A = this chain, B = another copy of it.
Amino acid sequence: MSDERHQQRMQRKKAVVDERIRQATQTRGVLILLKGNGKGKSSSALGTLARSLGHGQRGAVVQFIKGRFETGEYLFFRDHPRLEWHIMGQGFTWETQDRTRDVEAAQAAWVTAKGLLENPSLDIVVLDEMSYMFKYDYLDVAPVVEALKNRPAHQNVIITGRTIATPLQEIADTISVVQDERHAFRAGVKAQKGIEY
């Protein structure tokens, strides 16, 4: 492509982008859902959290499923002065195989999460893998929707999980679907430190 054609093409693109930016005038906290079967949902939430903390904001994370303290993300973020990190899971649900215990753990996690959604000093709240709580009927979705609607207006919330309950999708501002097109695991590569956990 010639330099001139390139410039024309980019000028048109810039006009479109600038117009879109002009039309986006609201400032408010958003609810972001990251769903789908692909790798990268929790990672994406954590990357956004890093970005938020980088701007001096305050954040909190509740991990609903992971019941481990030796993950790279926990080791990395645990000492951050503007971040709370709650690990509520008792391990993966197929590890415990104990419904009563799982329901109790889920409800305790929700009590914590609800407190975060009521806390105006928090700019971002990550509810990691919360979607499984609804899938397995460990939690009712209605009070969660209610708490999300009533949260502080500037608070951003990210919820991750493979399938996300419909009532949450209805109130979401942004939904990204992460699809698994290929995964090293299926080619025989072990889950590894720094990538999967």
Contact = CB atoms under 8 A, between A and B. Distances in A.
A195 B10 CA distance: 25
18 contacts: A6-B97, A7-B98, A13-B94, A17-B94, A23-B188, A24-B188, A26-B190, A34-B40, A40-B41, A40-B178, A47-B49, A47-B50, A51-B194, A124-B194, A156-B195, A173-B184, A173-B187, A176-B181
Contacts of A14: 94-95, 97
Given A52-B194, A184-B174, A189 B74 contact: no
Contact of A54 (B1, B41, B77, B192): B77
Contacts of A13: 94
A99 B5 CA distance: 9
When all copies of this chain in the complex are counted, the total is: 2
Given A43-B47, A97-B11, A181 B188 contact: no
A54 B183 CA distance: 23
A51 B72 contact: yes
A54 B75 contact: yes
Interface in A41-87: 41-55, 57, 71-77
Interface string A132-150: 0000110000000000000
